[in-house]
Amino acid sequence: MSRSANIWDDITAASANRILMLDGAMGTMLQKQQLEEEDFRGSRFADWPSPLKGNNDLLVLTKPEAVRSVHDAFLAAGADLIETNSFNATSISQDDYGMAELAPEIARASALVARAAADAWTEKTPEKPRAVLGSIGPMNKTLSISPKVEDPGYRDVTFDEVKDAYIEQITAIIDIVDAILIETVFDTLNCKAAIAACRETFVAVGYEKPIIISGTITDRSGRTLSGQTAEAFYISIAHAKPWAVGLNCALGADEMRPHIEAISRVAETRVIAFPNAGLPNAFGEYDESPADMTAQIAPWIEGGVVNILGGCCGTTPDHIAAIAKAAATGTPRVPVGPKPTLRLSGLEPFQIAV
């Protein structure tokens, strides 16, 4: 508890003076290692009845050195914050592999691997402390959209089932991580379940950790998959009083820019952005070079739009190093002051100013 609190105090202080750096794409870097089915299985799951290749979260149990090497590479590139390899470490998501019961163990192991890496780098560079964010992904099931076209009211899961799965995940990592990152939110109702899970877990353990929330604008329509604009999304989750709020994934920096700017205009807290390395090509790969991506992010840095920058799909340590170098020349955004305004949101924001 005290170690984590001290590190986060240092991170918070640093955020007032410079733009912080998040890491890049864990999945991209693991793919570059060309791991095979036996790497995912290890000896423990050699006889598992279903294929396991692609279950990147499981690698913290079967090949933790592969995950640790990714953390180290991003920390060497200048990341202040790294994410645990626990994006899908919930019972609901792991059920695809028949591993629902292993989800808490996977989540905890992911936090321990990231913690060891961050602490080692903090010891190397005490002037630049490194913190761990517990990655809470969006799940593979949504509360707002029916998976059956013929039955719009059908849902695979209930709110309480999603919340309980998140409680299990957060409980497994809460004493290890410095903050919770609810990320890649395409369904705001799933996010609200994660927020409720955080609150219930905080009560259960008797202390709180900061919450960071990052949504996803899924395409050029400028909306999340559940239909909200970026500003409406922010209003919907502002009650959680996040330490930072922003967007990640789906879009490259150019396409994300207007939506990040929309959040930056209204957010009463820090703004985080970690776009993809452009849009995927015909083969599902990302082609933007570190220089290209940095050039697109430069206006955010020069305009004081953001407080934390990083990368999502396709971004490597070279991308993070290039963005970090550019970010060092900028100043962090100053959060918007609170206003006496009634703010509501459906698919779009609605405000009544006093």
The Cα–Cα gap between 11 and 4 comes to 10
Residue among 260, 182, 231 nearest 346 (CA): 231
Return the structure tokens found at 277: 């390395």
Retrieve residue 104's tokens.
């808490």
DSSP per residue, 303-317: TT--SEE---TT--H
**Which uninterrupted H or E stretch holds 69?**
helix 64-76
Q: Rounded to an integer, what distance in angstroms lies between the CA atom of residue 253 and that of residue 169?
A: 30
Structure tokens at 115: 């913690």
Q: What is the largest CA-CA distance in the chain?
A: 65
Task: Please report, for residues 102, 238, 244, the alpha-carbon distance to residue 97 in angstroms, rounded to integers and kept in the order given.
Answer: 10, 34, 33
Residue 198 marked as a ligand binder? no
Contacts of 152 (CB under 8 A, 6+ apart): 146
191 known ligand binder = no
Chain-centre distance of CA 81, in angstroms? 11
Structural tokens at position 150: 């013929």
Token output for 284:
């599902």
Q: Which among 194, 300, 189, 291 is positioned nearest to 247, based on CA atoms?
A: 300
Residue numbering of the annotated binding site:
249, 312-313
Residue numbering of the annotated binding site for Zn(2+):
249, 312-313
